[in-house]
Structure 1
């Protein structure tokens, strides 16, 4: 895992701008604590930071290719892991390329020399990188197929900036942290839109996209998209194939020259990954596993609509089954109410997030992981691919003609509930959601042979894989990187996704339960109680003292005449939160909306401005 930031200009001599390079040095320090370097020419400036994971002595950045006369021809600033780099190195060696080190970074460099931007189609992994073609004076940006690694850019008359996070772009001086009407809609509607950023003049490289910038301007193209095709395997073959692909993925993803660990929640997804990693290690190394639990839940957990059971008992069973070196982090309300921790989360995310308690707890867990490990594998992506969430299965949500996770809110606003009602109406949040939904539905690839129900389940899967998964992967990446931890997501391997995406829905739920295909594929690896456990999402704290603490924070913020967020909040709804026994719920304000107001305060305090 690394962080990249750079600038291209056809009007300024960037080789004479040490002020710029120095400003860019500190932008992404946590993404790359092991090394910072720079490369410049009159037209381009690269400032990569490195978190060393593979080939600790080699793999320095930027990686540079030269011609026979020693002239620089290609410069690569790279972040990520390519898990088929060994095979690619062998193929490129047969084609005459010579390698100086054993890193995947140099493999990507040589692959670009050989195939140009089309090299992305050959890469199996998680990555985001920038290439400066010296001869063509062209910048090429490439992002992995699911957006596991972030990559943003901004074009202005003065130049073109790119970086792993928006905060990096701001250090180039081309743009500032400004949120306009479109950005506020994107930030608070909970309808993640590929390519859109919450900041003015800033775009995100779409997963599976190549962005090219030269004197002719910006060109964008896709090298990968979801494709619908007939599935011809029977159920037994499908289960066996899923298992074989998973085993191959894990074999590749345990490659590292630093300590590796796995996240363990006691659910099917993380437990399957932990078991497969444990097998792949082969007893030569004891697996480290990590989990998080809210202290309040140990004695006070109450089942709710989506959380049927606490994680801790299942984590204990799975850790004992594996014989792993396990560490459980207990989070209490004091961790969640810590203002510095909240502000750190907002800085890491560059925006407010849905469910502040989940984000703060994951940030704390990432810090704990970093004490013992640099790389951790997670079960993220499985629910979206195999159909784990409740909105895949409840007819009410399936029939909702909106993003299914919004249907699951029972028409309550997730994040915008405290926004001024006049502003809410003027921005037309419902219209924005409808537009984004119709836009997404129009993209869904179909074979044309689907039944009505099969078509709807494919639509819901596509919405989850291209929209909701972005929330999950952003959370994993940003909060992991805030602690300098690389997160690997085996379920987001494109060979697995291409196969499972086209498995008919009746095979995915063959035993009548969520994720039955995955359950069958790993049935021999898990204790029966873990194998049969009902889906339970990432936990959200039930401690009533947390809501009380949020109310106290909101009161402090709204009584501060200098707090800029107050200009966006609805006075009557704020009053209902502060005085109503339901904490504003009767007025339509969810806990997430209170958390969003607190986060917007931290956001504005960090220097973000709003233009409405």
Structure 2
């Protein structure tokens, strides 16, 4: 059974596998080898007097492991490897369940203590790496993804009404895993499992404090943090690259990485990759979210950084790539649930697959919008003032809530998604830390920042992790370093928009390493294919399902799907019927899988 559960993680860890079994604890691991290829094998054990005292299965990277290793060695710990894995294991032996507060990085791990016979589950502060668990009458099952847990017959793949609310609400409630009886370890969280039961705790959460610095000092501090973060995240024993969209976020990371490698004497070691669609630039049509195509800006930055030895590669996709049944099935399997965002997921998966042929580690600009306030709804008074999550009040909302449109009326009434979103919104606001006396716009923007850093960012980090690890690619997220997040969270909103633009602090901090075209470009999210052939193919596949007269799950109203299909196709619109059709097709594929049961 342990072998079957471990095998589900082969995509995340294509390089090696291992298992450790005792009477009361069994641990499995699939490895993506990044640091100390030979020495970092897992599960990793610690021994004392010839007996195993602790067993670790670990995913991710700890970027301060060298400093921690020196500190632990000074405290008497002996190391057998060069890996950060062993540092995490030794940190547990030294500091116990408090080790999370010592780590800087992205990680999720389980430690079985053979002496106390307790399991410790720990997740990084921002939730970059996933970790799930499923209590049973006699213990707990855990894994990086739900599929690892569901491979055990003690766990059932059942989604009830509450799970459907979370699945379709687009609110990302902490700890909720959608499947009944399953939980997600909260970012910055610790879960202890022992004979006395399960105890949950948190070693980190965002705190509100007065910002002590003036504008110049703040910009300088942001830059100093970014320089240190990027340098730390360049550590790798395998080929490393960057993801480049031509926007401020990814361009800043790419430029800082290129300069750091050049200063270290490793010029030419950095490749960059971008995604594009056949004919996209030539036939681009602006929409509510995107003013410009990415390619011209990507190529501008690539030319600007070429003297530093950066090599750029475009990954060009077309409608046939995105509609491939095999690819879409792989995306759904990686996601575990039909929570994807249509072609945005599929193209990201294909991009990562192409990158993996040349690199094993990639740096990403993900999460800068949440940290620095980049999304357009941050700057839209109507969205800011709405009594709900801002992303559900703006122009992007229909893409996030599209599946609602085709639910049966009785199911829609039972789920009452507006009430669920309102409840989750109130819970999220209750968690916002506050500074006494802070009022007005500053207080509201603190709320909105916190909602994004604890809810919305989780959706995108999960998407990034699932799509990348499905092909054995590790994507690092410099903007999620907790030191940067804490510092910028407490900077006043007026300072974050001091130049009248979004992400003012980041633009100022990176000004000397970027060309004017990138600095002046308006925020443009990840691209969506605009080829009318893509929607045509979606319509044809959906019509075929409707004609068969049955969709698994029992919650979809086929008459509503027919009504969508009867709307004329408008080549200039990508967010009319497309999101609902994409959601319908993915839901039907998921609900038709063996073992999945929708219980509403």
Which TM-score band applies after superposition, normalised by the shorter structure? over 0.9
Aligned to 1:143: 123
> Which of 40, 43, 63 is residue 44 of structure 2 equivalent to?
63
For normalisation by structure 1, the TM-score amounts to 0.94
Q: Helix, strand or coil for the counterpart of 1:98?
A: coil
- Displacement, 1:561? 4.6
Structure 2 residue aligned with 1:21: 2
Q: CA deviation at 1:159?
A: 2.7
CA contact (8 A) 1:159 1:174 kept: no
Name the structure 1 match of 2:137.
157
Mean alpha-carbon deviation: is it higher for 231-240 or for 549-558? 549-558
Corresponding residue for 2:456?
A: 468
Change (3 A) 1:589 1:538: closer
Local SS of the residue matching 2:200: strand
Partner SS for 1:568? coil
After superposing the two structures, state which structure 1 stretch, 533-542 or 278-287, moved more: 278-287
The answer on 1:529 being equivalent to 2:517 is yes
Displacement after TM superposition at 1:299 (Å): 1.4
Give RMSD over aligned pairs: 1.6
Q: Deviations over 1:213-260 (max 9, x none)?
A: 011110000100010000010000000000000000011100000000
Query: Aligned-pair distance for 1:173?
Result: 2.1
- Partner SS, residue 404 of structure 2: coil
C-alpha separation between the residues in 1 aligned to 2:267 and 2:477?
Answer: 21
Name the counterpart of 1:262: 242
Q: 2:301 aligns with which of 300, 318, 326?
A: 318
Structure 2 counterpart of 1:408, from 388, 391, 394: 394
Q: CA-to-partner distance for each residue in 1:499-539, whole Å, 9 max, x for gaps?
A: 11100001100000000110000000001001110000011
Q: Which residue of 1 aligns with 2:567?
A: 580
Between the aligned partners of 2:587 and 2:577, the Cα distance in structure 1 is 16
Structure 1 residues 405-484: aligned runs within 5 Å: 405-409=391-395, 412=398, 413-484=401-472
CA distance in 2: counterparts of 1:430 and 1:24, whole angstroms: 37
Q: Count matched residues.
A: 589
Q: CA deviation at 1:22?
A: 2.6
- 1:294-333 to 2 correspondences below 5 Å: 294-323=277-306, 324-333=310-319
1:603 aligns with 2:584: no
How many Å separate the matches in 2 of 1:241 and 1:467? 26
Report if the CA contact (8 A) 1:158-1:174 is conserved: no
Counterparts of 1:415 and 1:390, CA distance in 2: 23
Is residue 375 of structure 2 the alignment partner of residue 389 of structure 1?
yes
Unaligned runs of 5+ in 2: none
Indicate yes or no: 2:336 matched with 1:350: yes
2-structure distance, mates of 1:33, 1:300: 39
Distance 2:171 2:529 in 1: 24
- TM-score, length-scaled by structure 2: 0.96
Q: Secondary structure at the match of 2:254?
A: helix
User: For the Cα contact (< 8 Å) 1:417–1:590, is it kept in 2?
Assistant: no
Q: Deviations over 1:98-121 (max 9, x none)?
A: 000010000001100000010110
| SS class of match (1:575) | helix
Cα distance in 2, alignment partners of residues 502 and 393 from structure 1: 18
Alignment pair present for 1:180 and 2:180: no
Instruction: Quote how far apart the aligned CAs of 1:553 are.
Output: 1.2
Shift of 1:589: 7.0
CA distance in 2, matches of 1:411, 1:247: 35
Corresponding residue of 1:7: none
Structure 2: distance between partners of 1:56 and 1:397: 48
Aligned equivalent of 1:538? 526
The CA distance in 2 between the partners of 1:457 and 1:24, in whole Å, is 43
Q: CA deviation at 1:42?
A: 0.2
Q: Which stretches in structure 1 are left out of the alignment for 5+ residues?
A: 1-19
Shift of residue 353, structure 1, vs aligned partner: 2.7
> What is the SS of the residue equivalent to 2:281?
helix
Q: Give me the whole-angstrom Cα distance separating, in 1, the residues matched to 2:577 and 2:482.
A: 36
- Cα shift at 1:293: 1.1
Partners in 2 of 1:410 and 1:132 — Cα distance?
Answer: 44
Q: 1:341, CA displacement in angstroms?
A: 1.1
Q: Deviations over 1:325-360 (max 9, x none)?
A: 111111111112112211111110111134211000
Which string of whole-angstrom CA distances, capped at 9 and with x for unpartnered residues, describes residues 279-335 of structure 1?
111152411000001223121101111101000000000111111211111111111
| Whole-angstrom CA distance in 2 between matches of 1:448 and 1:299 | 53
Other-structure match for 1:99: 79
Give the Cα–Cα distance (whole angstroms) in 2 for the partners of residues 429 and 214 of structure 1. Answer: 37
- Contact 1:190 1:415 survives alignment (8 Å): no
Quote the offset at 1:154 in angstroms: 0.2
